[in-house]
Structure 1
């Protein structure tokens, strides 16, 4: 939803702000990034001062500290309790940065460490004045420094399992007019953008073997051509670069790039999929993985820390080494060849999501408890 589409909050106000200048013309990317955060903080500060002058004083403030917007809100409302959404804390080693040797940063590791330190600076400035943090997964919470980790509660954003569910009558129609249903052998891959962070290169390298062994399979690839995380390719798009590596070995009549699709089409696609493939660097876990599991779809995923937390290998999904395309293909084929095992695994995956990540029965009640405890805390002084 956009800000103007958001549902009204009882006893709350809706304020919009316009940022006409996002950064300088500096040739230094470090400077541009930091200035953009300072500009956002400044514009938000001005909006907050206006609200204060109108008499609005919140009891609780919750915000994302990563882009700078919330940096000065405690200066405007020192009496408010302050909670931050702890999505991810960047470090030069141990998580996403330099995880993939194919795209390892060149140059002095000291430079990389300093770049990561600067990237995390905005979040560090929030720690002294934040009463508490909330993080979707233990992996994400554990990226935070010890000095703040004990103030973070792990509560996932929540999956609407009443809407994201198995649909025996699900179907999607391709651009060619062909309709795919649960009777078809559909393999899915989903990312906001098709890029290395989400293992697109590994998936594409697995396709030749996978499609040779499954001559009736159709592969649906969802995602844009841009970059959400990490660096852009030297030219063109990651999609075209890695498709170009294998296109000569693929029957492209069975490989469908569908771009970004409406959410209701996505839910139908997950319900149609027989096996969903998901990979990620040690980074933020995508909702789409848990939504696939909630849809009653069997999952094959990379054996990286975010997945180890939500998938029990052999029970609620299959894990394979991130850099092993042949292992990926073999795991997918093993599930497609064994319908009873696939069905059992998919059912257990849905049960796991309902028990641990359901929006209505798990996440929302715990989020409300967290907000109540935040409200009852003593406000900390602004930093």
Structure 2
């Protein structure tokens, strides 16, 4: 079977699936702007394309998001036409359509079966748009319309999608009902053979200090430190947390940019805004126990989880982070927000402890109590790892499901573009 993968940051969610398809004998190709030249990665042939075009100055703000996707879609279209001219005809196309790249691929290969990675359908419900009162939209009606326009890309893809796959039930259920019969829920998978507890783990933090399992380490991870992932709530818990645990070290991992939501005002970063807010409440000696590591290589990320005594995970009702499941696989004792995506994997008192997203005082107390209770920490960590092994293990659970989904996709009747 000839399979074409489309992802602006390949391999992305196809990190395991694409090589597995190649290993079983399928001819797998990836079309991506991430590489500069033709190459091979884990059996997958990499074909580069360049994004050509710029956003229009003065464009209506509600259309800016779609125009960026249109630019990617037309750029990918040109590359696809070139491949077709060379005689390439895929049987199956696998695409993360979130950046618009796959908008026109069915026009090039109408008989190919298109399977989409359905990460999120943007919601206008107040549960989503007004979840955090600190960041209510200034013009709620206009914000609702902006979000509806943001789904143009989703809607156009629905017309040509033969099947979709979504990593969690929460994410799948954000999509409209008329998508549901074509959606399969299957996570990308956690390599529980690699993400393991390690009593000998060591983590170097600021000033060359080395932390180990003998230290009291509280960890917090975002791709980028921002409100969508509860960074502001966690930071506001620090003054009381550091005061209550004079030997604890707090380690934060994440960049200074924005992955989700609005940019910080006045050219600042969310990271610095909340450092500035809480720093006057924290002595220099206590602040020396707070370590910002930025973005780190994967082995160091694993070491961070493996030395963690309590791991904190907070999120709006949004896409579930891989890092939470990886923390569970590493046997971390977890304190997490009681929000819909989290409750899909954290059962309060069984695989972790849940707190109200906004309640920094209860967050602090729960972390402190868990630090005091080694028996509970060990039980929660062991149960968390067992849950991930039973439900999200890459090799035994998720990858076989994904391969079966691709095979079923190849057998569908297929949908052609409609005028």
TM-based fold match above 0.5: yes
Q: Is the 8 A contact 2:167 2:188 kept in 1?
A: yes
- Encode CA deviations 1:151-180: one digit per residue, 9 max, x unaligned: 111000111111110001000112312111
1:176 aligns with 2:211: no
- Inter-partner Cα distance in structure 1 for 2:363 and 2:226: 17
Residue 219 of structure 2: SS of its match in structure 1?
A: strand
Q: Which has the higher contact order (CA 8 A, sep 6+)?
A: 1
Between 145-154 and 344-353, report the one with greater CA deviation: 145-154
* Structure 1 position 96, deviation (Å): 3.3
The aligned residue for residue 47 of structure 2 is 15
Q: How does 1:1-383 map to 2 (within 5 A)?
A: 3=10, 9=22, 10-13=26-29, 14-107=46-139, 109-235=140-266, 236-250=268-282, 251-383=286-418
* Structure 1 position 94, deviation (Å): 4.5
* Structure 1 position 11, deviation (Å): 1.5
- Inter-partner Cα distance in structure 2 for 1:223 and 1:12: 33
- Inter-partner Cα distance in structure 1 for 2:343 and 2:204: 34
- Encode CA deviations 1:129-162: one digit per residue, 9 max, x unaligned: 2121100000000000011122111000111111
- Inter-partner Cα distance in structure 2 for 1:239 and 1:347: 32
- Inter-partner Cα distance in structure 2 for 1:359 and 1:118: 36
* Structure 1 position 301, deviation (Å): 0.3
Q: Is the 8 A contact 1:95 1:281 kept in 2?
A: no
Q: Is the 8 A contact 2:52 2:72 kept in 1?
A: no
1:73–1:27 Cα change, 3 Å:
closer
Residue 172 of structure 1: SS of its match in structure 2?
A: strand
Between 181-190 and 372-381, report the one with greater CA deviation: 372-381
CA RMSD of aligned residues (A): 1.7
* Structure 1 position 65, deviation (Å): 2.0
- Inter-partner Cα distance in structure 2 for 1:231 and 1:273: 30
The aligned residue for residue 35 of structure 2 is none
* Structure 1 position 95, deviation (Å): 4.6
- Encode CA deviations 1:296-321: one digit per residue, 9 max, x unaligned: 11000000001110100000000000
Q: Is the 8 A contact 1:189 1:222 kept in 2?
A: yes
TM-score, normalized by length of structure 2?
0.88
Q: Is the 8 A contact 2:52 2:71 kept in 1?
A: no
- Inter-partner Cα distance in structure 2 for 1:151 and 1:44: 25
* Structure 1 position 12, deviation (Å): 2.9
- Encode CA deviations 1:103-140: one digit per residue, 9 max, x unaligned: 01011x33122111110111111112212110000000
* Structure 1 position 230, deviation (Å): 0.8
* Structure 1 position 83, deviation (Å): 1.0
* Structure 1 position 202, deviation (Å): 0.3
1:4–1:218 Cα change, 3 Å:
closer
* Structure 1 position 87, deviation (Å): 0.1
* Structure 1 position 97, deviation (Å): 2.3
Residue 157 of structure 2: SS of its match in structure 1?
A: helix
* Structure 1 position 261, deviation (Å): 1.0
How many residue pairs are counted as aligned between the two chains?
382
Residue 281 of structure 1: SS of its match in structure 2?
A: coil
TM-score, normalized by length of structure 1?
0.96
Q: Is the 8 A contact 2:51 2:76 kept in 1?
A: no
